[in-house]
Amino acid sequence: MSGREVTLLGAGRVELLGRLPRSSNETFLVQVSCGDDSARAVYKPETGERPLSDFEPGLYRRERAAYLLSEALEWGIVPLTVIREDAPLGIGSLQWFIECDFSEHYFTLYADAPETHRDLSQIALFDYIANNTDRKSGHVLRGHDGRVWGIDHGLCFSAAFKLRTVIWDFAGEPIPGALLEDIAPLAEAVPVEVAELLDDAEVTALQRRVRRMLHERVLPVDRTGMRYPWPLV
């Protein structure tokens, strides 16, 4: 995260460029500008959220919470994400747009780019901790610089266990000790900036999932064979 990114997303003028296709909620590509500097971002307004029976309105808060959790762990999985009240369609999240080859996604990276496997398995652990309900293959990107990112975290952090993901290829593998050390502090306290975006039951459940990983020390296994999102990509 650079100062330029923080300035543009946090204070830049937001201009709608168009709606992104194949999104269940209204999601927009925007341009953010400060003076002569500009960049693209992804805007998810609360007004464009489809009503859900298992998540309260305000999914943009979960997008921000996922970014803050990734930063607290120093994993850098989620692109910079901020909340803006003054965006064109009202309050929502703004996320830095990742320039990448969109023909690549989790399935192609796993099959064709073994050098990404370490990052992909780390995302699997992150998704368990965050209780990601919607890790589709297309929600994993590789930037032009080779860095692997996870996007689209609006359906995370439910108090009820709802994990649905395509990343099961590493199931049962030992979690590296360094990652266990990273997550261990969460068992005692969730960072305030994350906790304030969730409710108490969601914070408690997050800590419970962390404690389970610290105890089991292996990546989660889906014994039901049903914890997949749809569509897969």
Residue written as tokens 């994400």?
Answer: 81
Q: Give pLDDT, residue 73.
A: 98
Q: Return d(Cα 48, Cα 72) in angstroms, integer.
A: 29
Q: Is 29 helix (H, G, I), strand (E, B) or coil?
A: strand
The model carries a pTM of: 0.96
As a CATH number, domain 3-216 is: 1.10.510
Q: Give pLDDT, residue 209.
A: 98
**pLDDT tens across 173-227, in order?**
999 999 999 999 999 999 999 999 999 999 999 999 999 999 999 999 999 999 9
Banded model confidence at residue 1, pLDDT cuts 50, 70, 90: low
Across the chain, mean pLDDT equals 96
pLDDT above 80 for 11? yes
Q: Give pLDDT, residue 212.
A: 98
**Helix H or strand E segment including 33:** strand 28-34
**pLDDT tens across 139-156, in order?**
999 999 999 999 999 999
Q: Give pLDDT, residue 206.
A: 98
What long-range pairs does 82-89 form, CB within 8 A, spacing at least 24?
82/6, 82/9, 82/10, 84/9, 84/10, 84/14, 86/14, 87/14, 87/30, 87/43, 87/45, 88/14, 88/15, 88/16, 88/30, 88/43, 89/16, 89/26, 89/28, 89/43, 89/45, 89/47, 89/48
**pLDDT tens across 46-74, in order?**
999 999 999 999 999 999 999 999 999 99
- For the chain, the structural domain boundaries read 3-216
